[in-house]
Amino acid sequence: MRILRTDRFSGWAMCLLLASVAGAQTRPGALIGPEDGHGAYATGIYKNLFIEDGHSKRDIEAKIDAAYQQLFHGDPQTQAIAFAAGSNANGPLMYVTDWNNHDVRTEGMSYGMMIAVQLGKKAEFDAIWNWAMTYMYVSDPKAPSYEYFAWSCKTDGTHNSEGAAPDGESYFAMALLFAGNRWPGGKGIYDYHAEAEKLLRAMVHRQVISAPGKYGMHTVGPMVNADPPMILFVPEVSPQPFTDPSYHLPAFYELWSRWGPEEDRDFWARAAEASRALFVKTANQETGLAPNYANFDGSPHPNRFPQSGEFGYDAWRTASNWSVDWSWWHKAAKEQEQSDRIQKFFVGQGIDSYGPVFTLDGKDLGATPGLTHEDHPAGLMGTNAVAGLAATDRTRAKLFTEALWNAPIPSGQYRYYDGMLYLMSLMHVSGEFRIWAPKQEMHKAR
């Protein structure tokens, strides 16, 4: 949430071979159906754009590790965004902070957990989750945000807001499911599958709860709209609810339609299709730029925050979301067109010099004071490189892959959002951001 405050042989034998080569644990009879698409989920093969461009596996691993070490264990004043915070009865605690705004956000905490499960950093994963459950989780059944997480807290755990942000809950749920598949057998808050299912149920079915708040009655319901089936910008009940295109994660929804609570699997399958359709409607047909906030029909939403209907900091993530969806599922060919479109636009702006904020038709609006000091931010460089997973123009896509490769690890005051997107983009572009599947499934090979 960036409010401006700122994946001659018979088919069975071939699947076994793919799974064996990639090291997946398999179960006889776990065949892939046509509804599973033709992407990495079905094949177990993840595109590595860095390898395609000539970089060695060793150098790629070193680059990812360097970024992780700096952001999670670097100099506390100039590099790190993750900080150990003592321990409690559940074990060590760690938070991820927006250094510039001096707060802890569900966005960053859930991104931190996703990075940790992907890279096999169980200690960090557990410590971040412990902090989130200790301080951010709303456990009072009378509180409007009950079963959700306060989207912003001080580093001592005090809530800055009692509201919740669905981008954080979405990444929490997906990271927990991956963790449950990678590290099964946990208890209590570390029973990852149980925690994920509880959160996913709340996102869809949470009853409406009202209570007096700082600005009057605070009324909160589900995090999703029922029809059309879309994630909401916020779960606060509103006469005119709207969405944030960068919150739409069809690659995740497909997995929830297989692994999530059984009663909601059809909902998440429909939500994946709705998100793919929204991407087409909301992104400008010339530039490929999507707005920060949108109505359910894809039109820009005139929210009260600055640049609501423009391509801004939230919207950087949208092209990455549709490109990962294409990489994992290969279900929506228009995602390729959209990646070609947005990469063409940014090449036209100067591959080494484009700014962070634009009107949807492509007017450069410059950086936003107080949110980023960068005129050419590493976070946007990263998400534009991830668009190469879907792009068909490989020569042009290479420009973005190399720009990301050459970008320094974000440091300094504004390192939080740029750093998170930079590191996850390195992982996506190198094929190291993967589907961690249940042991009984044979696709999603590692």
From first to last of the 446 residues of the chain, give the pLDDT tens digit: 544 333 322 332 333 333 333 333 322 223 344 599 999 999 999 999 999 999 999 999 999 999 999 999 999 999 999 999 999 999 999 999 999 999 999 999 999 999 999 999 999 999 999 999 999 999 999 999 999 999 999 999 999 999 999 999 999 999 999 999 999 999 999 999 999 999 999 999 999 999 998 778 999 999 999 999 999 999 999 999 999 999 999 999 999 999 999 999 999 999 999 999 999 999 999 999 999 999 999 999 987 666 778 999 999 999 999 999 999 999 999 999 999 999 999 999 999 999 999 999 999 998 766 555 568 999 999 999 999 999 999 999 999 999 999 999 999 999 999 999 999 999 999 999 999 999 877 544 44
220 and 254 together in one domain: no
pLDDT of residue 3: 40
| List of residues 6+ apart from 63 with CB closer than 8 A | 405, 426
434 and 287 together in one domain: yes
284 and 342 together in one domain: yes
- The answer to whether position 418 is within a domain reads no
Q: Is 52 exposed, middle or buried (0-12, 13-18, 19+ CB in 10 A)?
A: middle
Active site residue ranges: 107, 314
- The answer to whether position 139 is within a domain reads yes
Nearest to 233 by CA among 153, 172, 299, 303: 303
pLDDT of residue 11: 35
The CATH number that applies at residue 121 is 1.50.10.10
Nearest to 152 by CA among 103, 113, 195: 103
How are beta strands 103-105 and 91-98 bridged, if at all?
antiparallel
97 and 204 together in one domain: yes
Domains contained in the chain, number: 2
User: CB–CB of 85/131 below 8 Å?
Assistant: yes
Question: Which of residues 221, 241, 261 is at a domain's end?
Answer: 241
pLDDT of residue 133: 98
The residue type found at 31 is L
User: CB–CB of 176/196 below 8 Å?
Assistant: yes
- The answer to whether position 75 is within a domain reads no
Q: Is 16 exposed, middle or buried (0-12, 13-18, 19+ CB in 10 A)?
A: middle
Nearest to 341 by CA among 292, 407, 390, 276: 390
Q: How far is Cα 279 from Cα 46, in angstroms, rounded to an integer? A: 23
Q: 48 is written with which tokens?
A: 């590595």
Crossing angle of helices 265-282/316-329, nearest 10°? 130
390 and 279 together in one domain: yes
248 and 231 together in one domain: no
pLDDT of residue 290: 98
342 and 226 together in one domain: no
21 and 164 together in one domain: no
- The answer to whether position 73 is within a domain reads no
Q: How far is Cα 434 from Cα 119, in angstroms, rounded to an integer? A: 10
Question: Which of residues 212, 241, 270 is at a domain's end?
Answer: 241
Question: Which of residues 241, 271, 287 is at a domain's end?
Answer: 241
151 and 272 together in one domain: no
Q: Could you list the residue range(s) of the whole structural domain that residue 116 is in? A: 81-241
User: CB–CB of 380/356 below 8 Å?
Assistant: yes
190 and 219 together in one domain: yes
